Amino acid sequence: MSAVLRAQDLHTYYGKSHILHGVSIEVAEGELVTLLGRNGAGKTTTLRSLVGLTPARQGRVELFGHDTTHWPAHKISRLGVGYVPEGRKIFSNLTVLENLSVPVSRPGRWTIERIFELFPNLGERRSSWGRQLSGGEQEMLAIARALLINPKLLLLDEPSQGLAPLLVREVFRTISSMRKEGISILLVEQNARFGLDVADRVYVMNDGEVVHSGCARELAQDEEQVRAFAGAESRAAVG
């Protein structure tokens, strides 16, 4: 399988603070890769470097064979990279339907009609303001918005954050079904159990570095190591 995403030795800064210290990550076609780590490990910064929002100062990002390290975000998106940011970042001042008309769609199977079939709640609330939606609906809207790009690669930043367990399961079902559609996925998670359940491979980050990479199933069986890597937050989830 060929790599859709290959990031090599990324060094990313916010102003003068050095956040990523040589991060290397690969996602193969059709693969679901999870990025685990504690708060502040650099997971979000890694995603931001990949989508062009905080470009790496050193290193190289390759997407679908293009060197996109210094490309502007919109150009990267138009290659077929969908991004669901941390905290959803839906447009609270727009209606649901307006939110869905912001992305620049590439030709493909995902249309607003199909989105409303998959997420009937959003269809019913199409005229509601973004800020009137519940947390779960906001998450679905953020995923729907990224799907309308018709992505070949989907990057999700903590889609389970702040959701009730039932909703978390629904979100992960949706992610699994995206994957069955042939979309490659890079998933950032703090919830180690869910993150490992759905993934093929896993990277664990700490202090801006990748400290472990390997098969998700193997890591899932090694509870001691999950605790050591993913920190206190995941203890309850794993144990």
Partner 1 sequence: MELVLFDGFNGLIQGAFYALMALGLSLIISLNSVINFAHGGFMVVGAYLAFALAPYLGFWGALIAGPVLTGILGILVERFLVRYLYARPDPVYSLLLTFGLALIIEDSVRSVWGAGGVPFAIPSWLDSPVSETYFFITGYRVFVMSAITLAAGALFAFLRLSRFGVRIRAGILDLETVAALGVNVYLLRAVNFAIGIALAGFAGVLAAGVLQLSPTMGNDVIMATFVAIVVGGIGSLFGSVLGGLLIGLAAGVTSAYYPVASDVVIYVIMAIVLIVRPRGLLGQEGLFE
Instruction: List interacting residues with partner 1 (CB under 8 A).
Output: 51-53, 72-74, 77-78, 83, 85, 89, 91-94, 98-99, 101-106, 129, 145-146, 149
Contact between 190 and 205 under an 8 Å Cβ cutoff? The reply is no
Instruction: Tell me the C-alpha distance between 135 and 70, whole Å.
Output: 33
Contact between 208 and 42 under an 8 Å Cβ cutoff? The reply is yes
Q: What single string gives the DSSP state of each residue in 90-119?
A: --TTSBHHHHHTSS-PPSSS--HHHHHHH-
In the complex, the smallest distance separating the C-beta of residue 233 from partner 1, rounded to whole angstroms, is: 26
Q: What single string gives the DSSP state of each residue in 141-202?
A: HHHHHHHTT--SEEEEE-TTTT--HHHHHHHHHHHHHHHHTT-EEEEEES-HHHHHHH-SEE
In the complex, the smallest distance separating the C-beta of residue 230 from partner 1, rounded to whole angstroms, is: 26
Instruction: Tell me the C-alpha distance between 166 and 183, whole Å.
Output: 24
Instruction: Tell me the C-alpha distance between 122 and 95, whole Å.
Output: 10
In the complex, the smallest distance separating the C-beta of residue 197 from partner 1, rounded to whole angstroms, is: 27
Query: Quick one: 184 or 206, whose CB is closer to partner 1?
Result: 184
In the complex, the smallest distance separating the C-beta of residue 83 from partner 1, rounded to whole angstroms, is: 5
Instruction: Tell me the C-alpha distance between 31 and 216, whole Å.
Output: 12
Query: Quick one: 106 or 126, whose CB is closer to partner 1?
Result: 106
In the complex, the smallest distance separating the C-beta of residue 4 from partner 1, rounded to whole angstroms, is: 17
Query: Quick one: 4 or 51, whose CB is closer to partner 1?
Result: 51
Strand partners for 66: 63
Query: Quick one: 187 or 196, whose CB is closer to partner 1?
Result: 187
* Residue written as token pair 């249309």: 111
Query: Quick one: 32 or 155, whose CB is closer to partner 1?
Result: 155
In the complex, the smallest distance separating the C-beta of residue 78 from partner 1, rounded to whole angstroms, is: 5
Query: Quick one: 147 or 219, whose CB is closer to partner 1?
Result: 147
